Homo-oligomer: A and B are copies of this chain.
């Protein structure tokens, strides 16, 4: 492997001059500089980031930990992060933790050993355990899709409570009385808050809460399918379902079909995320849009602010947007509820 010294020898200068020339320092004679760079080119020389990092004390690398890269939600987040990282000349170290707090910690530690300049964690489950770790590490860390309220940590999320509220309200306004919640079993903060939003929406209109109507999957369609099957087997099944995420919603719709139900007429479904494919589903999925790409960009932006000595906002909360498509309609037999709430025409049948 060819180093700065090799090309110094070839150009008959000192290695410092080579170092300078290669970085276009003005302190070096243009001619020499050109000669050096030509030789470097010929030899196919490229700086060693590791040598450089050792003295510069930065690696121009950031670490990103997500639950699973195969989950399109995370993929889009990462895509936003990468976009910003690129504009700063940074590279991305990627690790997955599969919602395992232990793996999450290991990933972060591995990043620390590699001396990344900053860390981004999506859907963290570790939360408060970070404090002591961070005290040692002294590496900026930004959370995406989870927030630690008592902490002075940085995070960007959507308002999950509001998202749950919007989704459920939409169903309520359509006239649904039996609305199920298909959550995430891992106890993510996002799940807790979306669920709380769901409960709030129910309370707003005095629809009694029925614990039978809440089930949990793992965020993937297969699990969602079996969870939904349980719901549909109920003596008094729901007429609408709010799902923790779009992937779950796809599983739910599949389960419903296999149960002989038509979507949306027999079961309305609303998801959360608005994945790329959600608008291409049949029926197109009603959902709460999360600005995933933008969240990734903002999180990375926050990090770079920090790295350049600025003081960005600690807590960025975005608003999810209800996207009404084709998977939600009024329930089969409740024309009354429809006119009262949905149409707002005051024609309270």
Contact = CB atoms under 8 A, between A and B. Distances in A.
Contacts of A247: 276-277
A208 interface: no
A139 to B, nearest CB: 10
B137 A44 contact: yes
A75 interface: yes
Nearest to A46: B113
Nearest to A51: B54
Nearest to A284: B254
30 contacts: A1-B138, A44-B135, A44-B136, A44-B137, A47-B113, A48-B115, A49-B114, A49-B115, A50-B59, A50-B115, A61-B93, A69-B75, A69-B78, A69-B79, A70-B72, A70-B76, A70-B276, A72-B72, A75-B75, A82-B94, A91-B111, A92-B93, A92-B95, A94-B94, A250-B280, A251-B280, A253-B282, A254-B280, A281-B282, A282-B283
Contact of A96 (B82, B96, B279): B82
Contacts of A47: 113
A101 B274 CA distance: 30
Contact of A75 (B51, B72, B114, B221): B72
A189 B282 CA distance: 32
Contacts of A94: 78, 82, 92-94
A95 B78 CA distance: 10
Contacts of A23: none
Considering residues A1, A72, A76, A95, which has the most beta carbons from chain B within 10 angstroms of its beta carbon? A72
A209 interface: no
A93 B96 contact: no
Interface size on A, as a range, is 35 or more
Contacts of A68: 79
Interface in A243-270: 247, 250-251, 253-254, 257
A220 B279 CA distance: 13
**A-B residue pairs, 10 tightest by C-beta:** A44-B136, A282-B282, A250-B280, A49-B114, A94-B94, A70-B79, A254-B280, A50-B53, A49-B113, A75-B75
A311 to B, nearest CB: 22
A47 to B, nearest CB: 6
Contacts of A59: 50
Contacts of A109: 46
Contacts of A283: 282
Contact of A276 (B43, B221, B257, B280): B221
A221 to B, nearest CB: 5
A315 interface: no
A50 B93 CA distance: 14
Contacts of A93: 61, 91-94
Interface in A65-87: 68-70, 72, 75-76, 78-79, 82
